[in-house]
Each structure stands twice: as C-alpha cells, then as structure tokens.
Amino acid sequence: MSTFQVELKKVVDDSYDIEIGFDLMDTLIQNLKQGLVGDVNKYAVITDDKVKPLYATKICDKLKEAGFSVELFSFPEGEKSKTRETKAMIEDAMLEKGYKRDCCIIAVGGGVVTDLAGFIAGTFGRGVPFINYATTLLAAADASVGGKTAVDTPLATNLIGLFNQPKKVYLDIATWRSLEKRQVISGLAETIKHACLADAEFFDYLEKHMEEVLSFDKEACEHIAEKNCNIKYQVVMKDERESGLREVLNLGHTVGRAIETVSDYRLLHGEALSIGMVAQVTLAHKLGYVTEEEKQRVISLLEKAQLPITIPEYIDKEALVQKLYTDKKVKKGQLRFVIQKGIGSVVEFEEGVFATPIKEEVAREIIMSI
C-alpha cells in the first residue's frame, strides 16, 4: 500500500465589477472590445422570450456591428423554465451551432435567466466565462452578487446548481421601466429584506422614498441598486460558501420559498418572499426579538411597496406546513428560521449561527395567523 499526495493549493481571483446605470449596452460592447473576457471566439446571448424582443436582440445586433460572432438562444419566460430540460435544450442548441470551449455566455434578463445561464456557463466545456446583463430589480437585488446558479427539479428548488462567478454584471436601471409593475414590485421584496436584516438607515430611506422608487426616479433606483449590492456583498464576502453568515440572506425565504412552490408559481418569487417576511417578523415578535411597532413597520413597508402580506385564499395552509418540512433547509428533520432582531439586524443564536430550529406547531400557528 502506498499513498500519493496530490497538492492543489492555489490562489483564485474571482473578483468582478458591477456596473450600475441607465442604458449600459454600449458600455458592455466597449468593455468587450477592450478585452473584458480575453480569448473568446464566439458569444452566446441567453435570454427568455419576453426579454428577447425588448433587449437581447438589440445586444446581439450591437455585438455583430462591433464585429463579434454571436447567436441568440431563448426559452419560455418564467420560473417554470428553470429546469434541467431547458439547460439541456440550450446546450444542444449551442453544440449544434458549433460552440466549443472558447465561447462566452451573456445572460440578458432577470433572475431566472441569470441563474440558468450561469449554470450553463459553469458546465459547458467544463466552464466558460459569463456576463450578467440584468434587466430586473430582482436580478439586481438577488442575482448580481453571490455566484449562486441553479435549476429547479420536481422535488427541489435551486438544489441542482453551482457557485459560479460572472466576469461582470450590468444593472441597467433603464430596463426596469419596461417591466410589468407587478415584476418591479416583486423585486422590491428582496430590497426590503436586505434593509430589514442589515441596514436600519436604508429601511428609513425606503419608508420615505417608496413612491419615487415605484415611479422609477433615477436617483432613488440607483440608490437602491447600490444598497442591494452593498448589503449582499458585505454578507457574501465574509462567507462565500454559505456555511454560516450567508444564511442571514434566507430571511423570509423559509416560508417564502415554500409558498412559491405551493402556489405553483402563481405567486412571483418576491411576492412569496413578502409573505415569508411577514411570517418571520411575526415569529420574531412572538419570540420577543422585535417590538409590536417594529413588526408593524415591516408589514407596512411591504404593503407600501404593494406587496402581498397575507397568504392567498387559494393556498392550502396545511399543505404549506407539510411542504415546509421537506424544504432543503431542513437539517436533520428540523426546520430552521432566520429571525429579524429589531430593524436592520438578525438574531445570532450562537457564534456564527444565524438560524434556529422551530417546531412544527409553532410554524403552523404563525402560518394559520397570516
């Protein structure tokens, strides 16, 4: 018997920039011309069929004009497309068109597009570079920092995927205006979550400026895009592999994700999250971590953003409780919650532990009450 040692220690630099502004297509093209991604033979623009006519086709045209080789790949819009089957369909289409390892993927769209395209980039040719051109507030809040990519399967949400960092992210605030109002509002749920868990001052700002945000005031939109990146980055930086601190980003998601699934995606992610935020703040109040007034401030802010704050009637609350206890966050059969502490902070139960097991009866009581 002998032992052979494989030494593979190295410095990895996955740093990248997030560009925040209005109309960033020309900046993207200019960056590519300046060699943002290095030795690339062919670009693949991945988008959904809703964003395709709005922005993706235009980006393709601009790439062609600039002399780049590029093709556009799109799939039906919506969370239901975030599957292994869509991933395989796009991979096959790329292979069919002769894409090899020397390509670069540009994701143009919201969170579903960036999640899926980032995952495709992570496994195509065992990894090719990718760029996110985010066209929704939700993508700005959620998909720009953290490197999480994934697909859903019949049995699990976001459980098959990769940590994969983009080469650059563009948050084009001009695109938010073309979104349905409902989509913009959905995106605000992550923004409010970020304020609740990390930044009381930002929470105040949102209370005062929600109307400007909803009417796409440029300054207000840039401010929330920056704040979202900043808060998420502070958390992710300290914990890239989601072992401890990063768990705080799951605030509101334990119940939110389950509602999203049980609603069969009739609720958008942010809408479901909003209800999940109400659930966690109600729990936080019950456990004595937030005052009645703080609880009301959180619920009022969600309401001010025109987000739902009660579970829709068509959802079977008992089915929701059942779903919760098969959630991927259930460790050893125990459902764990991240819980808000006042405004702008979460409870640290012990050093580096930001979630606590909650018994099924307690979870049921909360859910029945909202």
Q: Which residues bind a copy of itself (CB under 8 A)?
A: 1-22, 24, 27, 41, 84, 88, 91-92, 95-96, 100-102, 119, 122-127, 145, 147-150, 153-156, 159-163, 165, 222, 226, 229-230, 233, 237, 240, 242, 328, 330-332
Using the 8-state DSSP alphabet, how is residue 334 labeled?
B
C-beta of 119 vs 203, nearer to a copy of itself: 119
Tell me how many degrees the CA angle 236-162-326 measures, rounded to the nearest 5: 90
Residue closer to a copy of itself by CB (options 52, 87) is: 87
Which is closer to a copy of itself, CB of 102 or CB of 180? 102
The distance between the two most distant Cα atoms of the chain, rounded to a whole number of Å, is 71
Q: How many Cβ atoms sit within 10 Å of the Cβ of residue 111? A: 26
Structure tokens at 111: 């969170």
Cβ 205 to a copy of itself shortest distance, Å = 17
Are 338 and 198 in contact by the 8 Å Cβ rule? The answer is: no
The distance of closest approach from Cβ of residue 191 to a copy of itself in the complex, given in angstroms and rounded to an integer, is 15
Measured from the CB of residue 19, what is the shortest distance to a copy of itself in angstroms?
Answer: 6
Q: Please compute, for residue 329, the number of CA atoms within 13 A of its CA located in the half-sphere on the CB side.
A: 26
Q: Which among 136, 166, 123 has a CA at the least distance from the CA of 148?
A: 166
DSSP-assigned beta bridge partners for residue 47: 74
User: Min. distance of Cβ 240 from a copy of itself in angstroms?
Assistant: 7
- Taking CA atoms, 331 is separated from 166, 246, 302, 337, in Å, by 30, 16, 30, 11
Closest to a copy of itself by CB, 187 vs 308, is: 187
Neighbours of 229 (CB within 10 A): 19
Residue 1 or 350 with smaller CB distance to a copy of itself: 1
Q: How far is the CB of 242 from a copy of itself (least distance, A)?
A: 8
What is the crossing angle of helices 360-369 and 253-262, to 10°?
70
- The residue (of 84 and 182) whose beta carbon lies closer to a copy of itself is 84
Minimum CB–partner distance for residue 329 and a copy of itself (Å): 8
- Tell me which residue has tokens 């949102």: 206
Answer whether 220's CB lies under 8 Å from 213's CB: yes
Cβ at position 247, least distance to a copy of itself in Å: 12
**Residue 7, C-beta contacts closer than 8 angstroms, at least 6 positions apart:** none
Residue 227 or 295: the one with the smaller Cβ distance to a copy of itself is 227
Query: Least distance in Å: CB of 159 to a copy of itself?
Result: 6
Sign of torsion over alpha carbons 105, 14, 222, 110: positive
